[in-house]
Amino acid sequence: MRRRVLVLGHATGLIEALARVDTDAPQVFLLVEPSVLEAHPGEFDHPSVVEMRTARFIFSDDAVDVGTAWHAEVGFDAVLPGKEHAVRAAAAIADRLGLGYPGAKAVQACTDKLVFRQVVGDAGFPIPRFRAVDTITEVGEFFDTCKGPVVLKPRNRNGSLGVRYIDDRNDIPVAWDQSVHTDEGRYKPLDRSLEWTYLVEEYRTGSEFSIEVLVQAGEIVFVNITDKAVGELPWFPEMAHQVPAVVPRLLYALLDSNARQLVQALDVSDGLLHSEWRVHGEHAYPIECAVRFPGDRIPLLIELAYGINLADAWLRCLAHAQPPIDAVAERFAAIRFLSATPGVVTGVQGLEEFVSAHHVLEVSAPQQGDLLPDVRDSHSRPGFVVFDADTLEELTSTVVDFKATVRVKTRQP
């Protein structure tokens, strides 16, 4: 019998990955926020989705009873969060049904950045100074204590939404207003307002990486390190990813060992971790961690590079059916996000030529006449290109060509 998977919150990358499973492709049962489905009828339909129902799961426990009752009808083999805000509800359903999930400590820490800071600090990881804040005054007090740049960020959001660098005390009121009023995006619930909490921490310079880890019965079966690049301050939009990261041996060992220590610190039992790190000097600072499918097509990059369907392997870990994976990449893959001066799109220069000259797997680009905002987070980037190559030299050449030729042209409205 085909596996039956309950997914909370629509996630295109996850559902498409499940559909690409070669054998025993699972059936997807999708749970969506009621107001989101009403606002976007038909947008979540997919051949892999057998049935769709609605229930609140974003900062709500409504979906737990709905998912449990649905299981009595269907018999789910796994419960997966499709979105960051679905992690807690998906975990609660899985726990109630006796199905695999990361564990209570991991779920709590990976959905609240303040709790995450406390957990990793107690575990001995290097961390910057930080504190929870509720007001502009408290941000100012922390800034004065640090006597240097700080980062203001929501504790319970993702996609770099509302994450703001501050290096001038006079900028604090503006930064606070910008962070608090950052829109959740196209698929936010429309039947209620969402409440965000905040923290502020010392800013650390350095290269950024993400580490994707599969865990089964507390044992690590796969580790990948992704090289990352973020946009210009004062915001932190992720603008590039490469799989696998090519780094010096000692740096690889540092990141790999820290990721394994993080699994222990979070008491992870089963599941998938997507952690983010900033390397400064001889230390790797844990920025945050998610216990869900990574965004930004990182799973597709892993699939292209390693030949591993991350969604299928995730399901197998939850069912204790995944053999250890020999993590040797045979190819190199990358995603580069488009950037643009805010304004009305007049065209995308060089994109067709780039696609013709390289092995491009996926393209998303703005249309003429689109109005583009500042690129501040994952929701405001105007497009992307996914490509891969047989060798690192070929991939590097492709990246150079992308930077030199592809331009989004805009004019002032």
pLDDT for the residue numbered 24: 80
pLDDT digits (tens, 9 = 90+) for 44-72: 999 999 999 999 999 999 999 999 999 99
Class of residue 367 by CB neighbours under 10 A (exposed 0-12, middle 13-18, buried 19+): exposed
Q: Which structure tokens are listed for 103?
A: 């564990």
**How far is the C-alpha of 338 from the C-alpha of 366, rounded, in Å?**
9
Q: What is the mean pLDDT of residues 67-79?
A: 98
| Torsion sign (Cα): 222, 58, 240, 312 | positive
In CATH terms, the superfamily for domain 207-330 is ATP-grasp fold, B domain (3.30.470.20)
Q: Is the pLDDT of residue 290 over 90?
A: yes
Q: What is the mean pLDDT of residues 173-181?
A: 96
pLDDT for the residue numbered 148: 82
Closest CA to 351 of 366, 341, 334: 366
pLDDT for the residue numbered 284: 96
Amino acid identity of residue 228, one-letter, is K
Helices (H), 243-369: 249-265, 298-306, 310-318, 351-357
Closest CA to 292 of 40, 37, 78, 55: 78
**How far is the C-alpha of 202 from the C-alpha of 150, rounded, in Å?**
4
pLDDT for the residue numbered 254: 97
> According to the CATH classification, is domain 333-411 in 3.30.470.20?
yes
pLDDT digits (tens, 9 = 90+) for 203-259: 999 999 999 999 999 999 999 999 999 999 999 999 999 999 999 999 999 999 999
Q: Which of 185-194, 368-377, 389-398 has the lowest mean pLDDT?
A: 185-194
pLDDT for the residue numbered 281: 87
Closest CA to 189 of 46, 377, 9: 9
Q: How many CA atoms lie within 13 A of 217 on its CB side?
A: 7
Query: Considering the domain 4-99, what is its CATH architecture?
Result: 3-Layer(aba) Sandwich (3.40)
pLDDT for the residue numbered 273: 98
- At 390, phi and psi to the nearest 5? -75, -30
pLDDT for the residue numbered 262: 98
Contact 81, 9 (CB under 8 A): yes
Q: Do domains 4-99 and 333-411 have the same CATH topology?
A: no
Residue 23 CA: distances (Å) to CA of 16, 20, 148, 314 = 14, 9, 54, 15
Q: What is the mean pLDDT of residues 322-341?
A: 94
pLDDT digits (tens, 9 = 90+) for 117-168: 999 999 999 999 999 999 999 999 999 999 889 999 999 999 899 999 999 9
Angle between helices 249-265 and 113-122 (to 10 degrees): 100
pLDDT for the residue numbered 231: 93
Q: Is the pLDDT of residue 28 over 90?
A: yes
**How many other C-beta atoms lie within 10 A of the C-beta of residue 256?**
18
C-alpha 344 chain-centroid distance: 28
Contact 212, 226 (CB under 8 A): yes
What are the residues whose beta carbons fall under 8 Å from the beta carbon of 215, sequence distance 6 or more? 102, 221, 263, 268, 269, 270, 271, 272, 273, 317
pLDDT for the residue numbered 327: 82
Q: Is the pLDDT of residue 1 over 80?
A: no
What are the DSSP E strand ranges found in 176-234?
Answer: 198-202, 207-216, 219-230
Residues above pLDDT 90, as percent of the chain: 95
pLDDT for the residue numbered 186: 87
Residues above pLDDT 70, as percent of the chain: 100
pTM attached to this predicted model: 0.96
Q: What is the mean pLDDT of residues 273-286?
A: 95
Mean pLDDT, the chain, integer? 96
Chain position carrying tokens 């971790």: 273
Class of residue 34 by CB neighbours under 10 A (exposed 0-12, middle 13-18, buried 19+): middle
Query: Considering the domain 129-202, what is its CATH architecture?
Result: 2-Layer Sandwich (3.30)
- At 155, phi and psi to the nearest 5? -80, -25
Question: In whole angstroms, how large is the CA radius of gyration of the chain?
Answer: 21
Q: How many CA atoms lie within 13 A of 235 on its CB side?
A: 19
Q: Where are the domains of the chain?
A: 4-99, 129-202, 207-330, 333-411
pLDDT for the residue numbered 343: 97
